[in-house]
Amino acid sequence: MGRVREYLRDRLRDGPIHMTLIDPDKSTPDAAARVAAAAAQLGSSAIMLGGSTGISPARMTETARAVKAAVQLPTIIFPESPASVTPAADAIYYMSLLNSRSVDRVIRMQARSALGIRRIGLEPISLGYIVVAPGMRVGEVGEADPVPRDDPTLAQSYALAAEYLGMDLVYLEAGSGAPEPVPATIVRAVREVLSIPLIVGGGIRSAADATALLDAGAQVLVTGTVTEEEGIGPAMAGILEEVRRRRGR
């Protein structure tokens, strides 16, 4: 098992965790490093680097280096395309957008990047990515047929398919900046059938959002917009506090 995957497995033994998403296109490497350091102080467990618009490999590399110089936490690429790959990060979510209509998003982009990832020695962590309505930009770019917010059975079906295909993680994504996170009913239904860790992201902006999703069984919460909008402010602190509380400290 790779080093980052092992780290995540160990962290998850003690309860749910949080990951901080930073878009290298929207923040300078210095600003990314500052956000990462503050998030680490609050107990965030990893820094994800990505966004749904094209990020140049140079920008990704610079940002990963700056973040790594600032924090001990693993940096994980959250790729938009094969161009997001850089050896400067610790790992990459090797993800398939399961409910995309585009074969590119399901498997062809992954095939295009596989040998390069092997060559540079980046750790791949396989992830089944499921877009839930509204899906926002990633739903459009990813040509997803988003899971309707009132269809927990469809979400369960995709999530279980990911597990049966041997994936390490499942990610339920409402889309960055979504007005509401993934409904708790969907999270609860997916957790009922899933044995691998469940990541939930998109639209989480408050401690109340975090509470609802953690109560429903989310094991990893991802936030991005909340720090883009207000830096490491009270909302981010409240979300992290909910996560820490469930880890018993």
- Contacts to ligand 1GP by CB under 6 A: 21, 173, 176-178, 201-204, 222-226
For the purposes of burial, counting CB atoms within 10 Å of the CB of 235, is it exposed (0-12), middle (13-18) or buried (19 or more)?
buried
DSSP state, residue 197 = -
**Nearer Cβ to ligand 1GP (84/176):** 176
Instruction: Name the phi and psi angles at 132, rounded to 5.
Output: -105, 145
Closest approach of Cβ 119 to ligand 1GP, in Å?
27
Closest approach of Cβ 47 to ligand 1GP, in Å?
13
Cis peptide before 134 (omega within 30 of 0): yes
3-class state of residue 150 by DSSP: coil
**Nearer Cβ to ligand 1GP (64/132):** 132
For the purposes of burial, counting CB atoms within 10 Å of the CB of 100, is it exposed (0-12), middle (13-18) or buried (19 or more)?
buried
**Nearer Cβ to ligand 1GP (21/40):** 21
Closest approach of Cβ 145 to ligand 1GP, in Å?
18
**Nearer Cβ to ligand 1GP (21/198):** 21
Closest approach of Cβ 227 to ligand 1GP, in Å?
8
Closest approach of Cβ 104 to ligand 1GP, in Å?
19
The CA radius of gyration of the chain, in Å to the nearest whole number, is: 16
- Measure the CA–CA gap between 95 and 1, rounded to whole angstroms: 17
Instruction: Write out the two tokens for 2.
Output: 């790779």
Closest approach of Cβ 228 to ligand 1GP, in Å?
7
**Nearer Cβ to ligand 1GP (167/174):** 174
**Nearer Cβ to ligand 1GP (74/202):** 202
Decide if 243 contacts 210 (C-beta within 8 A). yes
**Nearer Cβ to ligand 1GP (164/190):** 190
Q: Which residue is nearest to ligand 1GP (CB)?
A: 201
Strands 46-49 and 75-77: parallel
- Residue 15 zone, left/alpha/beta (φ > 0; ψ -120 to 50; rest): left
Closest approach of Cβ 178 to ligand 1GP, in Å?
6
- Looking at 104-143, which runs of residues are DSSP E strands? 123-131
